[in-house]
Structure 1
């Protein structure tokens, strides 16, 4: 999540007429993988809300369990949010259906297995399974990624509405996506290849050489998620995980179609 969910305007006051719910979400959005615990001053700075208002919001969120406090006084996200998030059909609901298929793929590959959905212009990681000795990665469950930075993101972008694709293509900059995609035109071409081949292959060379193979998960005709394997890129001898990823994604798609899980996937 990005810093400054609610930027202040003029004199340090919150935007005129901004609903309390917006400020509360701005405060919660200030937490991310690098800021899991924050002081009151950090919360106020990162969400762009005056300290006095931040304190009132924090107390209210503490009262309902959306925030908790550590012994040192810092704030952390509360378990009440996990309880609510577990009811999200496109998150926990779809994850429940996907888990047996992810586990099968994990046992075959013994690498990182990722499962993600698109949330507007980003990929949201719903689940990750990783072998103990797999190469280190920074992906975390609940984390957000640009749609151009991973195989799951490229799949979700390739099957997103045209307006979402054009926005991502227009904003594309090298270094914010696959290392082999150097220009917006490269990205456009890759997305077309993903649609033709019904899978994506991506590579990153920093800080480690990694390769990813991803495939779409469908609910009927609609692509509702993406499944991938992320593994070290060892050159021409790199194992080919493509067939296993595509077969697993197709099997999961059939499950969604066969058992009436459409409501789970679409919410």
Structure 2
């Protein structure tokens, strides 16, 4: 077998210039204040001449901008705007947002909507209560599929017999070991119809996560309320009330006409 035939699929059709451009975008995505050209060069391990033209083209096309007098480069909102043009996602968010706002106002709890994307869950909508404090999940933030309430709920409400195939479509490969580690938990979540567990990220917060079902009776998204106790309200009664309201919200978004 020739060396060409032995190449991995990801390396078979290489486009070095495109790879450099995507690498620049990925490096800048983690930097709130941007980076200087020298810092970008260092992070990528390339010479200045290898990235100069690509960086200038990204500026010209509006994906990157110069800040602080032109010494630093940062991402613009163009990538976000392109992502939110995707019609099914836009429909889902447009349908969900007013319902989520009602939930947040009535229950005095925040909630957010997560969809699977490129091996993670992505927060695509968020609603906050109208009081003077709030818990906010950042829109565009990534959540782990195997380490967060939203991610585990997404996994729990997939058809078990084809979950590996589904994960492959989401950009996750070789997940057998991870699935075995959480299999019993996923089965319990499916049986209960929701995931109600202490948050793995915030002490004193309980994650309430319910699925939004698509036409194939699998979760296309998850609604999560990071439930915070109010001292003047009885804990169990209030949490059950919030979970019931979250399930009603999910039911309005689910079904054969669900977006995505």
> Do both share a fold (TM > 0.5)?
yes
- What's the RMSD between the two structures over aligned residues? 2.9
- The verdict on how the C-alpha distance between 1:34 and 1:134 changes in structure 2, with shifts beyond 3 A counting, is farther
- The verdict on how the C-alpha distance between 1:21 and 1:71 changes in structure 2, with shifts beyond 3 A counting, is same
Match of 1:144 in 2: 142
Match of 1:31 in 2: 28
Aligned residues: 231
Match of 2:222 in 1: 226
Hey, what's the Cα distance between the residues in 2 that align with 1:50 and 1:94? 44
Hey, what's the Cα distance between the residues in 2 that align with 1:206 and 1:144? 13
Moved more, 126-135 or 139-148: 126-135
Per-residue deviation, 1:59: 0.5
Moved more, 162-171 or 124-133: 162-171
Alignment map for 1:101-180 (pairs within 5 Å): 101-131=99-129, 133-134=132-133, 136=135, 139-160=137-158, 161-163=162-164, 164=167, 167-168=174-175, 170-171=177-178
Deviation per CA, 1:98-119, whole angstroms, max 9, x where unpaired? 1122112111222221101011
Hey, what's the Cα distance between the residues in 2 that align with 1:166 and 1:196? 26
TM-score computed with the length of structure 1 as normaliser: 0.74
3-state DSSP of counterpart to 1:31: helix
Match of 2:203 in 1: 208
Unaligned stretches of 5+ residues in structure 1: 1-15, 173-183
- The verdict on how the C-alpha distance between 1:32 and 1:108 changes in structure 2, with shifts beyond 3 A counting, is farther
The answer to whether the 8 A contact 1:86-1:93 is kept is: no
Hey, what's the Cα distance between the residues in 2 that align with 1:37 and 1:90? 31
Hey, what's the Cα distance between the residues in 2 that align with 1:94 and 1:76? 29
Match of 1:4 in 2: none
Query: Rg bigger for which structure?
Result: 2
TM-score computed with the length of structure 2 as normaliser: 0.76
- The verdict on how the C-alpha distance between 1:36 and 1:148 changes in structure 2, with shifts beyond 3 A counting, is farther
Per-residue deviation, 1:89: 3.2
Hey, what's the Cα distance between the residues in 1 that align with 2:85 and 2:21? 20
Deviation per CA, 1:14-61, whole angstroms, max 9, x where unpaired? xx9543223222221223455452222332333444432222221111
